[in-house]
Chains A and B, each alone.
Chain A
Amino acid sequence: MSKILTPNTLAPDFTLHVTADQTLSLSELKGKPVILAFYPADWSPVCGDQVALLNEVLPEFRKHGAGLLGISVDGVWCHDAFSAERKLHFPLLADFEPKGAVAKQYGAYREKDGCCERALFVLDKEGIVAWSYLSPVAENPGVDGILDALEGLSK
């Protein structure tokens, strides 16, 4: 298993495509907590459940003023179709070219499978990792850890 970035590390900035003609940089979200959800693949069963749950709990994340970004190595058109089909209300970023470059910076890349780990990061307003969790790849980590971490930030 990978060694993911641990708390108190500065989260590396990145710029990734969110649609074919739009990019998003982590630094644009500075000033509010950010949840990064790396996951192996659009459409796969476990991820489907995971994104469905993230999507459902999104209003709770927003109560904390937090932004949520999903990241996988899938391309923008794949993300686009997946997001539309699942009615997702948060952006999916394409860590597509060079493949997995951002995931690697976070220690969340599975070299042998060529995809992201299932890893969660909660960043504070300054972009420092406040909490991180590497889930077994076949296991949906739920969102309780994220909510606990966000509450920790609000204290």
Chain B
Amino acid sequence: MSTLKTPVTEEDHIQGDKNAALTLVEYGDYECPYCGAAYPIVKRIQKHFGKRLRFVFRNFPLVESHPYAGIAAMAAEFAAMHNKFWEMHDMLYENQDALDIPDLLRYAESLGLPADELQQAIHDETSADKIKNDFMGGVRSGVNGTPGFFINGQFHNGSFQYEDLLAALENADNVKSP
């Protein structure tokens, strides 16, 4: 059973209560259709658990398979520097079929972010190290494809359908507070 080798820190993109009993970490790729399918499911899961759950998103772009996954991740990291990570994250997953640079610049503008700076950040690969660190942390933790989920540090080796994720999280919650 694989476990999460890189603990969740302040450097992570986190939604929800930091003292939540449950932590769901997703390793995701913005161009991956399975991640796209998981996106609304995670939203439902977050709604269901409310304060009991914190959700963490880490980059796992498979750039050899998905040519736009890398720049999309850079756009999200750029937005993060302006405290708009989740807005961009959602925008990307809601527009997975349009992730080329002009699209990303458009999304940045719509979020009130400086598009020219994003273009520069993509050109300079400003966040490449952070993305690579996320990726390698995932690889070392046994992530074998996307989306890769960890529930309280344990690799979720099941499907990401709503009922399955829900059951796995409920189960982890019971283990934590019997």
A residues near B (Cβ < 8 Å) are 49-50, 52-53, 55-57, 60, 86-87, 89, 139-144, 147
Contact = CB atoms under 8 A, between A and B. Distances in A.
A53 B141 contact: no
Contact of B144 (A55, A60, A142, A147): A142
Contact of A143 (B64, B65, B139): B139
Most buried by A among B63, B65, B141, B143: B65
B2 interface: yes
B139 A86 contact: no
Interface of B: 2, 62-65, 135-136, 139-145
14 contacts: A53-B62, A53-B139, A53-B145, A56-B62, A56-B64, A57-B139, A60-B136, A60-B139, A87-B64, A140-B144, A143-B139, A144-B139, A144-B142, A147-B139
Contacts of A57: 139
A142 B65 contact: no
A85 to B, nearest CB: 10
A142 B3 CA distance: 13
Nearest to B140: A144
A142 B64 contact: no
Contact of A53 (B2, B136, B144): B144
B64 A49 contact: no
Contact of B141 (A56, A86, A144): A144
Most buried by A among B63, B64, B65, B142: B64
A142 B63 contact: no
A144 B2 CA distance: 9
Contacts of A144: 2, 139-142
A53 to B, nearest CB: 6
Given A52-B145, A53-B62, 13 more contacts: A52-B64, A53-B144, A53-B145, A56-B63, A56-B64, A56-B135, A57-B139, A60-B136, A86-B64, A87-B65, A139-B144, A141-B144, A144-B2
